[in-house]
Structure 1
Amino acid sequence: MTICKNCGNSFEGNYCNQCGQSAKTKRINHEFLWEDVQHGLLHYDKGIGYSLKKLFEKPGNVINDYIEGKRVNHFRPISMVIIMSTIYALIYHLLNLNHRSALDESSGLILEKIFEHYYWFVVATLPIYAFTTYIMFKKTGYNFYEVIIFEAFKTSQRLGVHIVFLPILYFLKERSGFNTVSNILIIIDFILILWTNKQFFNTMSSKKVFLKSLAGYILYCTLAFLLVVIIILAFGFDR
Structure 2
Amino acid sequence: MNITCKNCHQTFKGHYCSNCGQTAETHKLNLHYLWHDIQHGLLHFDSGIFYTAKELFTRPGHSIREFIEGKRIKHFKPISLIMVLATTYIASIHILHIDLFAKTNETVIPDSHIDMEQFREWLFSHFAWINLLSIPLHTVGTAICFRNQGYNFIEYFVLNTYKAAQKLYVSILFLPLLYHYSGTPTVEILSKILLIIDFVLYFWTNEQFFNQLSKTKTFFLTLLTHFIFWILIIAIASLGVVIVEWYLN
Structure 2 residue 147 is matched with structure 1 residue 142: no
Look up the SS of the partner of 2:148 in the other structure: helix
1:128-139 map, 5 Å: 128-139=137-148
2:136 corresponding residue in structure 1: 127
RMSD over equivalenced CA pairs, Å: 3.3
1:67 positional shift = 0.4
1:102 partner amino acid: A
2:164 corresponding residue in structure 1: 155
1:181-220 map, 5 Å: 181-220=190-229
Query: Would you say the 8 A contact 1:103–1:178 is kept in 2?
Result: no
1: CA distance between counterparts of 2:173 and 2:205? 19
Q: TM-score, normalized by length of structure 1?
A: 0.73
What is the aligned residue count?
A: 200
2:75 corresponding residue in structure 1: 74
1:84 corresponding residue in structure 2: 85
Unmatched 5+ residue regions in structure 1?
1-12, 17-38
* One of 140, 165, 174 as aligned partner of 2:174: 165
2:59 corresponding residue in structure 1: 58
For residues 18-54 of structure 1, the C-alpha deviation after alignment (integer angstroms, 9 at most, x for no partner) is xxxxxxxxxxxxxxxxxxxxx935x3xxx21111111
Query: Would you say the 8 A contact 1:103–1:173 is kept in 2?
Result: no
Query: Would you say the 8 A contact 2:100–2:178 is kept in 1?
Result: no
For residues 123-148 of structure 1, the C-alpha deviation after alignment (integer angstroms, 9 at most, x for no partner) is 11111111110111012111101001
2:63 partner amino acid: V
Change (3 A) 1:104 1:157: farther
1:21 corresponding residue in structure 2: none
1:2-13 map, 5 Å: none
Look up the SS of the partner of 1:125 in the other structure: helix
For residues 87-112 of structure 1, the C-alpha deviation after alignment (integer angstroms, 9 at most, x for no partner) is 11111111222x46625469x94998
2: CA distance between counterparts of 1:40 and 1:100? 30
Query: Would you say the 8 A contact 1:103–1:179 is kept in 2?
Result: no
Structure 2 residue 102 is matched with structure 1 residue 102: yes
Look up the SS of the partner of 2:183 in the other structure: coil
1: CA distance between counterparts of 2:138 and 2:101? 31
1:230 corresponding residue in structure 2: 239
For residues 184-237 of structure 1, the C-alpha deviation after alignment (integer angstroms, 9 at most, x for no partner) is 011001001000000000000011000100000011012022222322432479
1:6 corresponding residue in structure 2: none
Query: Would you say the 8 A contact 1:81–1:156 is kept in 2?
Result: yes
Look up the SS of the partner of 2:157 in the other structure: helix
Q: 216-225 or 229-238: which moved more?
A: 229-238
1:176 positional shift = 2.4
For residues 66-100 of structure 1, the C-alpha deviation after alignment (integer angstroms, 9 at most, x for no partner) is 00100011111111111111111111111222x46
Moved over 6 A (4+): none
Unmatched 5+ residue regions in structure 2?
1-17, 22-43, 111-115
1: CA distance between counterparts of 2:211 and 2:191? 30
Structure 2 residue 41 is matched with structure 1 residue 40: no
2:218 partner amino acid: V
1:56 positional shift = 0.4
Q: Structure with the greater relative contact order (CA < 8 A, sep ≥ 6): 1 or 2?
A: 2
2: CA distance between counterparts of 1:104 and 1:126? 31
Q: TM-score, normalized by length of structure 2?
A: 0.70
